[in-house]
Structure 1
């Protein structure tokens, strides 16, 4: 019998065969007519193909063709490499002339989509046709980072707090008018679902309950560990909080949540935006706060937990709350903060959030339960929930790259046994090391960070930088910056 493509890739074992058979049974039992094969691109957007249900199982064995230029797109969907010119993809082995990649789906990821009838969904990743993995795929980047942790017997546990905006669509004409079609196109016209400036207001929650119910039902139907939905300070701004999971599950959940609720809300006449700062004069920036702790793979113990403060340590010292391992990890996050910033905040728009007294960070600092600091240490001695919260992320970040950057930075701090400075009590004071103030500065900081370049690999850093540089160049050339952000981010993210 000829080996399937999945077998040639070395991933089709007995467990995968069992999962595939269960998926086939679920497709039949659920009366599914279509199955979407979805892949997360560099920008955190899901792409893929939709198959009739009878073709899904075979595609999970033999792969599904995908044009390789999908991995080379910037945020406008323009290809950042000259794929049809000699040497245009010389830095990208396996790519060229818009050749094919093959998507292989994980049958265990099958879900029934709650917002569209008789449709299943599976998560897929790209492979080269010679059955070798595409290492530039961002989910594979996180897999490699987690392998570094697993080699030490550790895993990463993450909790997500995600702020975003929901608007009611008043007129989709601009977006769907063929006479105004452009690349990229306009978003729909919208109005607020609550007026804002009344944090956690029950009245505003009641006003926004219809779209928040859609978010709730969508997340729960997809099996996501949603804990709460909250009214944030800004007009039409909300927050979703999720129970902590292992890092890969957290990243997968973020991809599914972000893309799923946008589609479900759109069908009901709403526009959800995970853009940090929507293009309106009176808004509040949205952040993605990432809670993290290292855990033992054997038993799940929290490796940041300390039973008693280190003798002589003051509350301003990390070892008053964190284990020695936790302090080294914290110090690594601080030392690589400028280099990792572009993975946490990857858009031109997101850097507008870093401003004083805005519950957002501005400098490379940590604090004990301090929401103005970049890193917030949460917990106390004996607390199994002791963790570090990174507050520099924007909700449009690619989850796999965001989490991978934490692992590589934290591990470097551990390997070099770095010590953290004292906690800040003045997160907006002047004179400290500042976070990058724009995409160009952030890209330069990444390229200058030798530790992160080595951890991610120079080929990936070059690839990522090339694509983000195209976005930056178009931003710098745009005469109307607001129009750029409406089309580039608000319409698509």
Structure 2
């Protein structure tokens, strides 16, 4: 999907909104055709205007087609609640007189400006719904300092200044589970506590890797999503059944960075929403609260193009990294621990980081065609397509921050001409350990100058406060974190929303 580079949504300050609004006009011609989008909006029942919160969860308002037309002039007013709540709906970022972002005081509105390049339509149960992702802004029109999408915009622009276009391939695992009751059967929670999740059961016995029998049973439920995703420029590559019971993996053809992040935000949202009427539940938890579960991951495939369209990862020899590719991989290794919070942002995500999971990374390092390494250098049998696969990510990760962290780490390595260390022969035993739980990841992120420079001072502080609140509530309720043992607290905190 082609994006312009004039800032979030390509917004310009020309023209004022209708009515009493004093905000800059929201529509840009570079991000999409407003007339075509408005015509399409008249064919749907509602339009979801959404954005990704700091945790990577989609937050939205459903607008009537008429209200959506107004939103193209004025943007959409949103409460900043999702920016200050931790995963358990506890207020973790101040909204009183001590608020470090002025417009958070009193929970004053922020504005979400639709990016018309993300417009797409879904149809389910005979109901057509429009969807458009937006960028969070302050009321005066500036990018919101707590916006995750802002970080990715800025990171891509920095890469472009060096003549590089990042290319991202998505490989995402998740569980398809069966709901045990037709209607809501959980228990409500409150501020700072989540109720019991809805009861679910596995849909198959699993542990028949790449089973055609198990895969075919799931495909009918996934097929309706392909067309709206393709409208975003997301081309499906593969779907397969993984080892766990009802555990699936989906991959997409390489995309530009922003399109890849938007794809993940919408894919996760749609899978959660559109499987529910079929009596099913989708879980992106790193280790869901089901018997005999196997951890899920989000493996991020990365390469890049020069300004003339030629790939810059590959070297002269087939299947070998070139100098820039080697430095990019070295950058990924160097910053992996600093940025672990952005790739693994929940308590539950750290169940993967244990020696018993031979194909999940636990230490810093790289290797060719070794799925136990943090960074796997692979070419898929096509030597000219050599690229880096970072296997660190959790499926729940904030897509904008996770991808931005990868690009920033790699580009920084290239700019610094960082030498790549020797290939790990025993990836699970060599190198510095990754953070083993969310508490360690918060501490590493808080002390990292690179992390602060990547996301900005305000978002850096907010993420530390949000995730420390989450970790503290876990330790108060459940005590120590035990790899491979999903606590009742984790089941309540993450099962429904993640």
Q: Deviations over 1:171-210 (max 9, x none)?
A: 256x446xx322323322222222111111122224xx2x
* 2:250 paired residue number: 240
1:221 to 1:11, Cα distance in 2 relative to 1, 3 A: closer
* 1:51 paired residue number: 63
Number of residue pairs matched by the alignment:
469
Structure 1 portions without partners, runs of 5+: 310-319
Q: Deviations over 1:20-62 (max 9, x none)?
A: 111111123xx22211111111111111211111221111211
* 2:104 paired residue number: 95
Do the aligned residues in 1 keep the contact of 2:23 with 2:139 (CA within 8 Å)? no
Q: Deviations over 1:351-408 (max 9, x none)?
A: 1101224311111010001101000001299833110000000100000000111122
* 1:440 paired residue number: 439
Q: Deviations over 1:463-491 (max 9, x none)?
A: 11111111001101114872211111111
* 2:327 paired residue number: 328
Structure 2 portions without partners, runs of 5+: 1-13, 480-485
1:299 to 1:246, Cα distance in 2 relative to 1, 3 A: same
Report how far residue 8 of structure 1 moved: 4.9
* 1:67 paired residue number: 79
| SS class of match (1:444) | helix
* 1:149 paired residue number: 159
1:201-350 mapped onto 2 (5 Å cutoff): 201-206=211-216, 209=217, 211-223=218-230, 224-296=234-306, 298-308=307-317, 321-350=320-349
Provide the C-alpha distance between the structure 2 equivalents of 1:216 and 1:7, rounded to a whole number of angstroms: 43
Do the aligned residues in 1 keep the contact of 2:174 with 2:248 (CA within 8 Å)? yes
How does the TM-score come out when normalised to structure 1? 0.90
Q: Deviations over 1:404-425 (max 9, x none)?
A: 1112211221222111111112
> Do structure 1's residue 19 and structure 2's residue 43 form an aligned pair?
no
1:382 to 1:359, Cα distance in 2 relative to 1, 3 A: closer
How does the TM-score come out when normalised to structure 2? 0.89
* 1:415 paired residue number: 415
Do the aligned residues in 1 keep the contact of 2:25 with 2:73 (CA within 8 Å)? no
Provide the C-alpha distance between the structure 2 equivalents of 1:263 and 1:382, rounded to a whole number of angstroms: 37
Report how far residue 92 of structure 1 moved: 1.8
Do the aligned residues in 2 keep the contact of 1:321 with 1:381 (CA within 8 Å)? no
Provide the C-alpha distance between the structure 1 equivalents of 2:120 and 2:466, rounded to a whole number of angstroms: 32
Q: Find the partner of 2:487 among 482, 488, 491.
A: 482
Do the aligned residues in 2 keep the contact of 1:409 with 1:452 (CA within 8 Å)? no
* 2:393 paired residue number: 393
Report how far residue 4 of structure 1 moved: 2.0
Provide the C-alpha distance between the structure 2 equivalents of 1:172 and 1:350, rounded to a whole number of angstroms: 29
Report how far residue 7 of structure 1 moved: 9.6
| SS class of match (2:434) | coil
Report how far residue 2 of structure 1 moved: 6.6
1:168 to 1:144, Cα distance in 2 relative to 1, 3 A: same
Do the aligned residues in 1 keep the contact of 2:360 with 2:372 (CA within 8 Å)? yes
Provide the C-alpha distance between the structure 1 equivalents of 2:30 and 2:452, rounded to a whole number of angstroms: 35
Provide the C-alpha distance between the structure 1 equivalents of 2:85 and 2:29, rounded to a whole number of angstroms: 36
> Do structure 1's residue 353 and structure 2's residue 365 form an aligned pair?
no
| SS class of match (2:90) | coil
Provide the C-alpha distance between the structure 2 equivalents of 1:485 and 1:454, rounded to a whole number of angstroms: 31
Do the aligned residues in 2 keep the contact of 1:219 with 1:261 (CA within 8 Å)? no
Q: Find the partner of 1:197 among 195, 204, 207.
A: 207
Provide the C-alpha distance between the structure 2 equivalents of 1:492 and 1:381, rounded to a whole number of angstroms: 38
Provide the C-alpha distance between the structure 2 equivalents of 1:479 and 1:151, rounded to a whole number of angstroms: 47
| SS class of match (1:97) | helix
| SS class of match (1:113) | strand
Provide the C-alpha distance between the structure 2 equivalents of 1:39 and 1:226, rounded to a whole number of angstroms: 23
Q: Find the partner of 1:33 among 21, 45, 48.
A: 45
Q: Find the partner of 2:124 among 115, 119, 130.
A: 115
* 2:16 paired residue number: 3
More displaced 10-residue stretch of structure 1: 457-466 or 323-332: 457-466
Report how far residue 135 of structure 1 moved: 2.6
